[in-house]
């Protein structure tokens, strides 16, 4: 995709679906991004179960980093990532 094609592309998406929604549960943009990444490996239902536990503890990039890999694993292993 060329840079000049980006705005028309997103305009077409918005015209086709002006109020998109998702089953993923989130309260900020980072949570949505994290949930979408996790949903590549699981259903939205499974992701929501994991993120209901994860996001109260770590819902920012720094908070996820602070958990460390071992800490994060405990929250997301239920969706088959480990």
pLDDT digits (tens, 9 = 90+) for 60-82: 999 999 999 999 999 999 887 66
Q: Which CATH number does the domain housing residue 31 bear?
A: 1.10.340.30
Which of the 8 DSSP states describes residue 82? -
CA–CA separation, 64 vs 67, rounded Å? 5
* 39 in any annotated domain: yes
2 found inside a domain: no
In angstroms, rounded to a whole number, what is the distance separating the alpha carbons of residues 57 and 44?
Answer: 20
8 in any annotated domain: no
**Per-residue model confidence (pLDDT) at position 27:** 97
For position 2, what pLDDT does the model report? 86
Distance between CA 55 and CA 53 in Å, rounded? 6
pLDDT by residue (tens digit) across 3-55? 899 999 999 999 999 999 999 999 999 999 999 999 988 999 999 999 999 99
Domain with 69 in it: 25-82
The per-residue pLDDT for 80 is 79
Distance CA 32, CA 70 (A): 22
The answer as to whether 16 is a domain residue is no
Task: Tell me, yes or no, whether 71 lies in a domain.
Answer: yes
Check if the beta carbon of residue 24 is closer than 8 Å to that of residue 33.
no
The reported pLDDT for the residue numbered 39 is: 92
Domain count, the chain: 1
Token couple for 79: 């969706």
- Check: CB of residue 42 under 8 Å from CB of residue 80: yes
């Amino acid at each position: 995709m060329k840079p000049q094609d980006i705005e028309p592309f997103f305009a077409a998406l918005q015209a086709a679906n002006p109020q998109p929604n998702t089953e993923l549960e989130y309260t900020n943009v980072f949570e949505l991004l994290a949930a979408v990444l996790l949903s590549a490996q699981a259903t939205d239902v499974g992701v929501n179960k994991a993120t209901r536990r994860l996001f109260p503890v770590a819902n920012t990039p720094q908070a996820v980093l602070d958990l460390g890999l071992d800490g994060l694993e405990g929250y997301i292993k239920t969706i088959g990532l480990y």
